[in-house]
Amino acid sequence: MKLQATLSFLVLLLSNIVTGQINYGVKAGITLSDQYKKINPPGYPAENLETKILPGFEAGVFLKHHLNDKLSLAAELNYSLIGSKTKYTRTDFIVNPDGSISGPTTGYYNDKIQRIEIPLFLQYNLDKFYLALGPAIGIKLSSKISHYQNSSFKSAYYRPLDLGAGAIMGYPVCKKMDLTLKYNFGFTDADNRDYSIIKNRVLTFSVLYSLK
């Protein structure tokens, strides 16, 4: 009985895939990303680092398979720039032109990651808009620190893969164009150092244009 039910489900799923409609296209948008950062070096108390939102961008392609009027499967392949502005304290002292001494001072450096993002979604279509939810994987291409005490350098502490989940709210403007708001939440620690934790958070506003 269980085998028959399983076979019936597979036949129904395959028939939906065969008879379903597929459309694909290109997308582009802006990102507002932030990071949860915590450090706990040996011999020092744990500390949550103060961060600010880092503006970035995202561009890619998408594929949607419409199973029926209500459900769709969606996949994306995106290039994105994410990260955060992280507060630091400059501990040295500066001699000013008038002879006075100032310091220490604080500032924010840009912690940037360039990556490929591959999310998969199950989309539920409503009357005026749609909602989608699913897993996502981020593949690091490069990472860089900039504006740190007037210097820039590559950062080597990010892991090559970052796993998370994404949620989308989309609005079809017309037959060819959608507006979407996506939030990506990183589950895994993106930092390969034993004493540090970094988790990515990304909000993306995108325009999707269907080619088919």
For each successive 10 residues of the chain (212 residues), what is the average pLDDT?
54 52 92 94 86 96 91 95 89 58 75 95 93 96 88 89 95 93 94 92 96 84
Residue 7 has what pLDDT?
53
Give the residue from 192, 203, 200 showing the smallest Cα distance to 167: 203
DSSP, collapsed to helix, strand or coil, labels residue 11 as helix
**Annotated domain spans of the chain:** 23-210
DSSP helix, strand, coil percent of the chain (3-state; round to 5) = 10, 65, 25
Look at the alpha carbons of 82, 87, 93, 99 in this order and tell me if their dihedral is positive or negative. positive
pLDDT for the residue numbered 79: 97
Is the preceding peptide bond at 97 cis, omega within 30 degrees of 0? no
pLDDT of residue 101: 58
The closest alpha carbon to 78, from 23, 127, 139, belongs to 139
Burial class (CB in 10 A: 0-12, 13-18, 19+), 200: buried
* Six token digits for residue 164: 């998370």
Block residue for tokens 């065969």: 18
Please say whether the beta carbons of 122 and 131 come within 8 A: no
Residue 128 in tokens:
């005026």
DSSP character for 98? T
CB 64 within 8 A of CB 77: no
Q: Which fold has domain 23-210?
A: Porin (2.40.160)
User: pTM for this structure?
Assistant: 0.80
What's the pLDDT at 100? 59
